[in-house]
Amino acid sequence: MEQTPTKLEMFYEGKAKKLYSTPDPDLVIAYFKDDATAFNAKKRGTIEHKGVINNQMSELFFTLLERSGIPTHFVRRLNDRDMLCKRLQIVPVETVVRNVVAGSMAKRLGREEGENLPFPIVEYYYKSDPLDDPLILPEHALAFGWATQEELDQIKSMALRVNEVLSRFLDERGVLLVDFKLEFGRHHGKILLGDEICPDTCRFWDKATRQKLDKDRFRRDLGGVEEAYQEMLRRVSN
């Protein structure tokens, strides 16, 4: 049995996770919290057992993606709330892939939420809480040195591949992958997929009813938040 690495000092706390260093400088431990935030932390709350569910779901999705040839930071899940990951230098550009009009895209462009897109659209946002993560062009990332052209090309290609793999997997389980946010980082010069993949970072709708099975239930005060997270875990675990 593999030995559990020692959790040393916490060096970062985000909205959903805490990161701890380990004796190995290449590895970190991510602790998944139950804290819930929306609208860049303007709305706050707690979703019971969210951290446990998101840790398990991220393990499942990262394992699926690794098997499909997409390199990730995932090493292994240590327990209910801790995940061992490769340490990344995060690229400060969040990548969003959209298959259906929803959320900020509907508001920004005056489109009906639920409109199917003819092809997946990849968007980029500058990772900055004080600025509310503004939408950017790839040229901004190049101009300000956030990423190289080669890295942006890799990120787009990987994001679209993630979309293919997850969309197919979820479709078989009666779930529509509406859109999702990804974060990437550098590990020894290589771009890896990082962060987490879960109802916090994705929009999941029931394929038949279009019922929301994600954090929009918290954002929009729809109720049944915990039940939606549990239902998503049940579906992807089968």
Q: Is 104 in a helix, a strand, or coil?
A: helix
Res 3 pLDDT > 90: no
Nearest partner of 201 among 183, 228, 189, judged by Cα? 183
In this prediction, residue 2 carries a pLDDT of 72
Burial of 169 (0-12, 13-18, 19+ CB in 10 A): middle
Domain with CATH 3.30.470.20 in the chain: 89-224
Res 116 pLDDT > 70: yes
Domain with CATH 3.30.200.20 in the chain: 10-86
Q: Give me the helices (H) in 34-111, please.
A: 50-67, 103-109
In this prediction, residue 222 carries a pLDDT of 96
CA dihedral (108, 94, 159, 37) positive or negative: negative
Query: Burial letters for 20-40: b for 16+ Cβ neighbours within 10 Å, e otherwise?
Result: bbbeeeeebbbbbbbbbbbee
Query: Is the CB of residue 90 less than 8 Å from the CB of residue 127?
Result: yes
Confidence of residue 1 (pLDDT cuts 50, 70, 90): low
Nearest partner of 207 among 232, 233, 234, 237, judged by Cα? 232
- pTM for the structure as a whole: 0.95
Q: Higher model confidence: residue 42 or residue 207?
A: 207
Q: Which helix (H) or strand (E) holds 44?
A: strand 43-46
Q: Tens digits of per-residue pLDDT, 174-213? A: 999 999 999 999 999 999 999 999 999 999 999 999 999 9
Query: Is the CB of residue 184 less than 8 Å from the CB of residue 196?
Result: no
* Rounded percentage of the chain residues whose pLDDT exceeds 90: 94
In this prediction, residue 41 carries a pLDDT of 74
Query: What CATH class does 10-86 carry?
Result: alpha beta
Q: Tens digits of per-residue pLDDT, 138-167? A: 999 999 999 999 999 999 999 999 999 999
Q: Which of 32-41, 83-92, 225-234 has the lowest mean pLDDT?
A: 32-41
Q: Please state, in angstroms and rounded to a whole number, the distance separating the CA atoms of residues 227 and 209.
A: 16
**Domain 89-224 classified CATH 3.30.470.20?**
yes
Confidence of residue 42 (pLDDT cuts 50, 70, 90): confident
Q: Mean per-residue pLDDT for 44-55?
A: 95
